[in-house]
């Protein structure tokens, strides 16, 4: 083991780009257990936007969809020859409808479904008061400004009767929204392909455990990138 810092072989500037289809290809192999395959296939098969919301009403759901489109933007998806977008808002609504929750909540917030209703209403009211239009009708920059205000806890005491949201609760609600959006998105096989994750293909045992080594079934970046040495299979 070296006793001095090891210099970088490369600068860390560009994150790697992985090929499409890696997780989907692995799902057909014996590298994935039946339980894992069932969970990921079910998630892949969910039809984005096919169902009406069940926990939220149409207005709240429109705000949620518009917010998720900015929190986890997917301009690279939904093109004719591309993959469909991961429907984060639909995953959140389904979780609110079916439960269970994650076992806890900040005491300053009401129960999850009610917190979403109030938070989304406050966001919409903030948009109307600040930009003169519903949140879902705003352009991306204006939606980002409204979401940024929520993140800072600056959304609240609005004209539509959603009091008590200024300060901590609004920021905590935004944190919960963002965390759940992230958890939904990165649990999806398409997002896992994007980041080169292959942990679901865990049969047989992983053998390449060091630095800059991968097992043959792990995805490698599409093109040589200045980040990392060449992976060996």
Site for other proteins in 155-214 (CB under 8 A): 175, 178-179, 181-183, 185-187, 191-192, 194-200, 202-214
103 belongs to the binding site for other proteins (CB under 8 A): yes
First to last CA, the chain: 24
Give the C-alpha separation, 221 to 151, whole Å: 34
Half-sphere exposure of 158 (CA within 13 A, CB side): 26
Q: Which window, 26-34, 57-65, 131-139, 153-161, contacts other proteins (CB under 8 A)?
A: 26-34
Shortest distance in whole angstroms from residue 36 CB to other proteins: 4
Stretch near other proteins under the rule CB under 8 A, chosen from 13-21, 52-60, 127-135, 158-166: 13-21
Nearer to other proteins, 156 or 196 (CB): 196
Query: How far is residue 144's CA from residue 17's CA, in Å, rounded to a whole number?
Result: 26
Binder among 129, 164, 229, 233 for other proteins (CB under 8 A): 229
207: how many CB neighbours lie within 10 A of its CB? 9
- Is residue 59 within the footprint of other proteins (CB under 8 A)? no
Residue for token pair 């759901």? 61
Rule CB under 8 A: say whether 45 interacts with other proteins.
no
Backbone angles phi, psi at 213, to 5 degrees: -130, 140
CB atoms within 10 A of CB 205: 7
Q: How far is the CB of 11 from other proteins (least distance, A)?
A: 8
């Amino acid at each position: 083991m070296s006793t001095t810092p090891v210099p970088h072989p490369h600068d860390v500037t560009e994150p790697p780009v992985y090929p499409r289809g890696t997780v989907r290809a692995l799902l057909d192999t014996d590298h994935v257990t039946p339980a894992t395959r069932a969970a990921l296939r079910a998630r892949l098969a969910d039809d984005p936007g096919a169902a009406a919301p069940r926990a939220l009403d149409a207005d709240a759901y429109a705000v949620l969809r518009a917010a998720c489109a900015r929190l986890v933007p997917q301009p690279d998806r939904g093109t004719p020859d591309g993959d469909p977008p991961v429907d984060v808002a639909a995953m959140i609504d389904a979780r609110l409808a079916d439960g269970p929750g994650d076992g806890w909540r900040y005491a300053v917030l009401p129960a999850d479904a009610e917190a979403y209703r109030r938070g989304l209403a406050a966001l919409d009211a903030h948009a109307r008061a600040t930009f003169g239009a519903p949140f879902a009708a705003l352009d991306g920059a204006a939606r980002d400004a409204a979401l940024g205000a929520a993140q800072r806890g600056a959304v609240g005491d609005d004209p539509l009767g959603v009091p008590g949201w200024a300060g901590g609760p609004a920021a905590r609600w935004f944190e919960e929204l963002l965390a759940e959006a992230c958890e939904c998105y990165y649990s999806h096989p398409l997002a896992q392909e994007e980041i080169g994750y292959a942990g679901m293909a865990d049969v047989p045992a992983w053998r390449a455990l060091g630095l800059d080594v991968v097992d043959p079934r792990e995805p490698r970046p599409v093109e040589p990138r200045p980040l990392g040495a060449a992976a060996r299979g």
